[in-house]
Amino acid sequence: MRIQALPTQLINQIAAGEVVERPASVVKELVENCFDAGAGQIHIDIEQGGMRQIKIRDNGCGIDKDDLALALSRHATSKIASLQDLEQVLSMGFRGEALPSISSVARLTLISRTAGADCAWQVSADGSEKNFDPRPDPHPPGTTVEVRDLFYNTPARRKFLKTEKTEFAHIESLIRKLALSRFDIGFALQHNQREVLNLKPAASLAQQEKRVAAICGSGFTENAVHIDFAASGLRLRGWVGLPTFSRSQPDMQFFYVNGRLIRDRLVAHAVKQAYQDVLYHGRQPVFVLYLELEPALVDVNAHPAKTEVRFREGRMVHDFLFQALHRSLAEQRPGQPPVIEVVAPAEAGPVAATSPPRQIPLPMTAVLPAPASPRHPAAVGYRQDTAGTVAQRYDQQIKNYSKLYSETEAAQPAGEQAMPPLGFALAHIHSIYILAETANGVILVDAHAAHERITYERLKQQHQQRSMVSQPLLLPLKIAVTAAEADLAEQEQAFFMEIGFELNRSGPETLLLRATPALLAKTDVDQLLRDMLADMLAIGFSRRAEEKINAILAKMACHGAVRAQRKLSLEEMNALLRKMEQTERIGQCNHGRPTWVALSHQDLDRFFMRGQ
């Protein structure tokens, strides 16, 4: 056949195949148009899962009467006018193909009114981009788009739609995600004349957290940390779930770039790395995060549905995300707010990282001073002692403990605020769990798990102080790779040297390894290097060497931690509690299991039905 121009209707239906997958796709395009129109309130009315009707109304800026025909024409838009605009897109939509694509597979009616117009104007479309005849309408300022009988003229595609319940579930899930992207907008969702969602605009942080709780559940906000981290022209804010609050599926992971919900493997990799040290195997983290950066640094035109993006400086974005999340999780210590900033690791002396594992003694005298009386201060309040009230016995504990604080803090009156976050130990239950009383209730600590995390963090800090120590190989190791991997290894020779690998190219598809990090001397380094090179070709970098070293340090920490069935004294238990309060990522052991749990006064009262 000869080359020929396609009819407009067919062009629009081809585009519809990319843009309109199901009713939820239509809702997405239309709601994002409401965002770009500056709407403060959006009403979404759905019938029969969107197959019969999708009606979306906003109170945005509206469309001029003379522009209505263009709005329903392919590649006509008010959002970009030049290549420079395309490279710095801030609007949600910009291609100008959604409305004509939708109208080619459904019956579409557009009603709009600008703020200064005498009335609204209504037009209908069938995808042909012809015969537009605007008619006056009493519609208030803003826009309404009504889409009826989706895929009425393409029955083959209609057959691929699921049940009404399933299709509406996709729409509801979409609206929840979009509502998380714009706290300044109110959303009202109805299905078959029944209200499903009614979200008011949320200006303050408390109101925003209330909306997050309405969408993700109160359990998420109760187990999440709010972060706000900025560096190098990038800003990351939002909520990250604690590692102990995780899910089996990645169904509660929302990541927005300049307000646009996206899926990106670079982002996913950074998040996975940040949680690697604290998340139980096979579990998925939960988060609602917003990344803000210059529009020119991200290409949002990489996917027809605009759900994928490309970062101009992918490595910088990855490292920024990793550091922000890594530090926010690390700083979750008992009784302390998160410190959202990148800090250098604490100073520590050198450690013989390759020494055989041993049980590291608990630092008792260095952490907890000797008691002033023959009885340990933590035990004073828990005997059958009639010398004073509970408050007086607390005071005795705090006076002894205040020696650990600065003179300024020690000079403060004894009271609840001076109580250490994890309180004082009461007993070692079954020689496994530490029971401690706090100002707000009680806690239970898995002594082995907690000591394991403390030891692991200390080993990591000491190893970082020494940097990567290389160990020369007796005989160089030849590693067969692809030509592309060999080129990359040659280009990144300085990087490999920095992390302890002495790696040279000895042929078109051959590398020669002369030295390896000391901690990895007994591992399968040739496979590790191949995996690292594959990562670097795919996403530009690799942390596999660091992960491998951390895994070895974690194993050392596990062997060095205090064992179950070893009876601990009150001094040892309190020393462990104080160390926990100073240790990063103390909420989880090296395997991602929780190290401690808390029961408040309210929890205890509820168990025993007090006050009911």
pLDDT at site 589: 85
Is 347 within a domain? no
Q: Please indicate, yes or no, whether residues 459 and 445 belong to a single structural domain of this protein.
A: no
Q: How confident is the model at residue 1 (pLDDT cuts 50, 70, 90)?
A: confident
Range in 206-220, 251-265, 461-475 the model is least confident about: 461-475
pLDDT at site 211: 96
Q: Please indicate, yes or no, whether residues 223 and 280 belong to a single structural domain of this protein.
A: yes
Chain segment 542-552, per-residue pLDDT in tens: 777 777 777 77
Bigger pLDDT: 409 vs 316: 316
Mean pLDDT of 408-427: 64
Task: Give the position of tokens 């040279």.
Answer: 504
Q: Please indicate, yes or no, whether residues 63 and 156 belong to a single structural domain of this protein.
A: yes
Q: Please indicate, yes or no, whether residues 12 and 78 belong to a single structural domain of this protein.
A: yes
Is 241 within a domain? yes
Highest mean pLDDT, choosing among 15-29, 210-224, 456-470: 210-224
Is 512 within a domain? yes
Phi and psi, residue 229, nearest 5°: -130, 130
Is 54 within a domain? yes
Mean pLDDT of 200-227: 93
pLDDT at site 305: 62
Q: Please indicate, yes or no, whether residues 229 and 81 belong to a single structural domain of this protein.
A: no
Q: Please indicate, yes or no, whether residues 132 and 170 belong to a single structural domain of this protein.
A: yes
Q: Please indicate, yes or no, whether residues 497 and 574 belong to a single structural domain of this protein.
A: no
Range in 79-93, 168-182, 241-255, 350-364 the model is least confident about: 350-364
CA–CA dist 277, 533 (Å, integer):
23
Q: Does 290 score more than 60 pLDDT?
A: yes
Q: What is the pTM of this model?
A: 0.70
pLDDT at site 73: 82
Query: Which of 169, 199, 229 corresponds to the end of one domain?
Result: 199
Mean pLDDT of 84-111: 79
pLDDT at site 281: 72
The CATH number of whichever domain residue 495 belongs to comes to 3.30.1370.100
Is 318 within a domain? yes
Range in 13-17, 152-156, 405-409, 482-486 the model is least confident about: 405-409
Q: Please indicate, yes or no, whether residues 169 and 314 belong to a single structural domain of this protein.
A: no
Chain segment 322-368, per-residue pLDDT in tens: 999 988 888 777 755 433 333 333 333 333 333 323 333 344 333 33
The CATH number of whichever domain residue 35 belongs to comes to 3.30.565.10
Q: Percentage helix, strand, coil, to 5, in the chain?
A: 40, 20, 40
Q: Please indicate, yes or no, whether residues 13 and 109 belong to a single structural domain of this protein.
A: yes
The CATH number of whichever domain residue 431 belongs to comes to 3.30.1540.20
pLDDT at site 80: 62
Q: Does 416 score more than 80 pLDDT?
A: no
Is 317 within a domain? yes
Q: Please indicate, yes or no, whether residues 437 and 481 belong to a single structural domain of this protein.
A: no
Is 242 within a domain? yes
Range in 97-111, 293-307, 319-333, 563-577 the model is least confident about: 293-307
pLDDT at site 342: 35
102, 109 contact by CB (below 8 A): no
Chain segment 432-450, per-residue pLDDT in tens: 999 999 998 999 999 998 9
Closest CA to 38 of 187, 178, 144, 184: 184
Residue 364, amino acid: M
What percent of the chain stands above pLDDT 90?
40
pLDDT at site 357: 31
Mean pLDDT, the chain, integer: 80
Residue 533: domain span: 454-559
Q: Please count the structural domains in the chain.
A: 4
pLDDT at site 91: 74
Query: Which of 199, 225, 258 corresponds to the end of one domain?
Result: 199
Q: Hey, is 567 helix, strand or coil?
A: coil
Query: Which of 266, 296, 330 corresponds to the end of one domain?
Result: 330
209, 226 contact by CB (below 8 A): yes
- For residue 46 the two structure tokens come to 């759905």
Is 371 within a domain? no
- Count of C-beta atoms within a 10 Å radius of residue 55: 17
pLDDT at site 424: 93
Helix (H) or strand (E) holding 144: strand 142-148
Helix (H) or strand (E) holding 168: helix 164-181
Q: Hey, is 135 helix, strand or coil?
A: strand
Phi and psi, residue 465, nearest 5°: -65, -35
Q: Please indicate, yes or no, whether residues 225 and 315 belong to a single structural domain of this protein.
A: yes
- For residue 135 the two structure tokens come to 């008619």
Q: Please indicate, yes or no, whether residues 441 and 584 belong to a single structural domain of this protein.
A: yes
